[in-house]
Amino acid sequence: MASMLLTSLRSSPLTSVQAAQFAARSLSTSVHLQAQAKSKKTLAKPGVKNIVLVDGVRTPFLQSGTTYADLMPHDLARAALQGLLNRTGLPKDAVDYIVYGTVIQEVKTSNVAREAALGAGFSDKTPAHTVTMACISSNQAMTTAVGLIAAGQCDAVVAGGVEFMSDVPIRHSRKMRKTMLSLNKAKTLGARLSLLGSIRLAHLSPELPAVAEFSTAETMGHSADRLAAAFGVSRLEQDEFALRSHTLAKKAQDGGMLSDVISFKVPGRDIVSKDNGIRPATMEQLAKLKPAFIKPHGTVTAANSSFLTDGASAVLIMSEEKALAMGYKPKAYLRDFVYVSQDPKDQLLLGPTYATPKVLEKSGLTLNDIDVFEFHEAFAGQIMANLKAMESDWFAQTYMGRKTKVGAPPMEKFNTWGGSLSLGHPFAATGCRLVTTVAHRLQKEGGQYGLVAACAAGGQGHAMVIEAYPQ
Partner 1 sequence: LYYTISYHIISYHIILYYIMHHSMNLDVFRFNVCTRTHVSYEVKDNVAVVRINDPTSKVNTLGRHMQAELVEVINEIWGNSAVKSAVLISSKPGSFIAGADLNMFQACKTAEEVSYLLQAGQKMFEQIEKSPIPFVAAINGSCLGGGLEFAIACQYRIATKSKKTILGTPEVMLGLLPGAGGTQRLPKMVGLPAAFDMMLTGRNIKADKAKKMGLVHQLVEPLGPGLKSAEERTIEYLEEVAVDFAKGLTGKKVTVEKKKGLMQKVQDFVMGLPPVRKQIYKTVHNKVMKQSKGLYPAPLKIIECVQTGIEKGNAAGYLSESENFGKLAMTSVSRALIGLFYGQVACKKNHFGQPEREVKKLAVLGAGLMGAGIAQVTIDKGVATILKDTTEEGLARGQQQVYKGLNDKTKKKSLTTFERDRIMSLLSGQLDYRGFENADMVIEAVFEDLSIKHKVVKEVEAVIPPHCIFATNTSALPIKDIAAASKRPEKLIGMHYFSPVDKMQLLEIITTSKTSKDTTASAVAVGLKQGKVIIVVGDGPGFYTTRCLAPMLAEAVRALQEGVGPKKLDSLTTGFGFPVGAATLADEVGIDVAAHVAEDLGKAFGTRFGGGNVEVLKMMVQKGFKGRKSGKGCYVYGAKSKEKKVNSGAEDILKSFKLTAPPAVSADEDIQYRLVSRFVNEAVLCLQEGILPDPVQGDIGAVFGLGFPPCLGGPFRFVDSYGADKLVQKMKHFEEAYGNQFTPCQLLLDHAKDSSKRFHK
Binding site for partner 1 (CB under 8 A): 214-217, 222, 225-227, 229-232, 294, 297, 343, 345-347, 385, 388-389, 392, 394-395, 398-399
- Whole-angstrom Cα distance, residue 189 to residue 186? 8
* Distant-in-sequence, close-in-space partners of 326: CB < 8 Å, separation ≥ 6: 94, 156, 318
CA dihedral 211, 311, 308, 265 (to 10 degrees): -140
Nearest approach in angstroms of CB 185 to partner 1 is: 27
Residue whose CB is less far from partner 1, 197 or 214: 214
Instruction: In whole angstroms, give the CA distance from residue 338 to residue 356.
Output: 9
What one-letter code names the amino acid at 17? V
User: Contact at 8 Å (CB) between 276 and 62?
Assistant: yes
CB of 304 to partner 1, least distance (A): 18
Residue 239 or 275: the one with the smaller Cβ distance to partner 1 is 239
The residue among 323, 339, 429, 337 whose CA lies nearest residue 376 is 429
- Please confirm, yes or no, whether 135 is among the known catalytic residues: yes
Q: How far is the CB of 351 from partner 1 (least distance, A)?
A: 14
Q: Which one of the listed residues 258, 455, 465, 466 is annotated catalytic?
A: 455
Looking at beta carbons only, is 192 or 402 nearer to partner 1?
402
For 284, residues 6+ apart whose C-beta sits below 8 A from its C-beta are: none
Return the number of other C-beta atoms located less than 10 Å from residue 268's C-beta: 8
- The answer to whether 318 and 156 have CB atoms below 8 angstroms apart is yes
Nearer of residues 307 and 395 to partner 1, judged by Cβ: 395
Decide: residue 100, CB within 10 A, 0-12 exposed, 13-18 middle, 19+ buried. Answer: buried
The Cα 314–Cα 85 span in angstroms is 10
Closest distance of CB 397 from partner 1, Å: 12
- Asked if 146 and 318 count as a contact pair (C-beta separation under 8 A), the reply is no
Catalytic residue among 135, 162, 442, 454: 135
Q: Which is nearer to partner 1, 94 or 230 (CB)?
A: 230
Which residue, 231 or 264, has its beta carbon nearer to partner 1?
Answer: 231
Q: At closest approach, how far in Å is the CB of 394 from partner 1?
A: 6
CB of 317 to partner 1, least distance (A): 36
**Catalytic residue numbers?**
135, 455
